[in-house]
Amino acid sequence: MRSTEALPALQAASSPERPWVREWRLAALDLARCFRGWHVWALLGVSDIRLRYKRSRFGQFWITLSMAFFVAGIGAVYGGLFHQNIHEYIPYLAVNMTIWTFISTSISESCSAFIEAAPYLRQEALPKSTFIMRVLVRNMMAFGHNIIIIPLVFIVFLYAPSPVALLAIPGLLLVLAGVFAASISLALLCTRFRDMPQIVGNLLQLAFFVTPIMWHVEQLGPNAYYIKVFNPFASFLRVVSEPLLGHVPAPETYGTVLVALCVLSLIAWPVFAKFRSRIVYWL
């Protein structure tokens, strides 16, 4: 009887787990522990915002004031430059800038996610994905402050939202999933190669100008199709901004977002599984 019970253990010992299977299992365990311990990254993200605006009279609302001044200044200049109706252009700009700021800042700050977490990672065996979620939490808080500008601008310019605006919620979830997948890959690469944050910053600046944030995609004429389909930043932006502006995103917009999300996930998961255990040695 004892020999029968011991047989599975002997078989397991004689057939050791393959390295790639172990890496993927540990990566999945890391993510599971991260989401079970959600209070850790939530507290870290809130603490980051508090420290950033400590002893400031306006506190976190400096984020909102900065965005409001930017939208007012750029809206007045570019509205005249592009010969746009100011009552339509400034709501368009406010929505796009609020969403773009969240996307670009989250990606940019993810480059230093593990580097900032070095004191924690050297002392505690915390899930590595916890520090990606930390970046997302603090940027979601900033997004929550900035989004206050949108209803204020709608009221000032008598811009009435429609029920279609509810589609912005699933759009925002798609954006969060895309940013999370991109952040994992970039955080690993930037921890290993310290020149990468500068490259990412330059690419984000380029993406800002080729993405319809301050201009309408229709202004490109026949070339608008390529921006809609082949620019993933434009598609992630539009799945949130268009519902808020009263338009249903086109099916190809959702298609581009889903394809980009699959590609980002297929890159992020193997990279995270392979190099997760080496992060501490790169700090």
The string of pLDDT tens digits covering residues 77-104 is 888 777 788 888 899 999 999 999 999 9
pLDDT at 13: 47
Q: Indicate the pTM of the whole model.
A: 0.88
Q: Which of 2-11, 98-107, 114-123, 241-250 has the lowest mean pLDDT?
A: 2-11
The CA angle 224-255-103, to the nearest 5 degrees, is 75
The rounded percent of the chain whose pLDDT value lies above 70 is 92
pLDDT at 48 over 60: yes
The rounded percent of the chain whose pLDDT value lies above 90 is 52
**Residue at token pair 């590595």:** 128
pLDDT at 11: 47
- Higher local confidence (pLDDT), 205 or 15: 205
- Higher local confidence (pLDDT), 218 or 23: 23
Mean pLDDT of the chain: 86
Residues 220-254 pLDDT 10s: 777 777 777 788 999 999 999 999 998 999 898 99
Count the alpha carbons within 13 Å of 143 in the hemisphere toward its beta carbon. 21
pLDDT at 16: 64
Residues 115-140: what's their mean pLDDT?
A: 92
pLDDT interval class at 5 (50, 70, 90): very low
The CA distance from 161 to 150, in Å, is 10
Give the contacts of 38 (CB within 8 A, at least 6 positions apart).
Answer: 133
pLDDT at 3: 45
pLDDT at 61 over 80: no
Give the contacts of 264 (CB within 8 A, at least 6 positions apart).
Answer: 178, 181, 182, 185
pLDDT at 196: 92
- Higher local confidence (pLDDT), 56 or 281: 281
Nearest to 142 by CA among 50, 35, 33: 50
The CA angle 276-277-278, to the nearest 5 degrees, is 95
The CA angle 174-180-183, to the nearest 5 degrees, is 135
The Cα-based distances of 78 to 82, 119, 124, 219 in angstroms read 6, 45, 50, 14
pLDDT interval class at 43 (50, 70, 90): very high
Q: Give how far the C-alpha of residue 210 lies from the chain's centroid of Cα atoms, to the nearest Å.
A: 18
pLDDT at 80: 78
pLDDT at 106 over 80: yes
pLDDT at 12: 45
Residues 164-199 pLDDT 10s: 999 999 999 999 999 999 999 999 999 999 989 999
Residues 188-229 pLDDT 10s: 999 999 989 999 999 999 999 889 898 888 777 777 777 777
The CA distance from 145 to 52, in Å, is 14
CA 274, 276, 277, 280 torsion-angle sign:
positive
The Cα-based distances of 79 to 86, 89, 195, 262 in angstroms read 6, 6, 37, 37
pLDDT at 171: 95
Beta-carbon neighbour count of residue 225 at 10 Å? 12
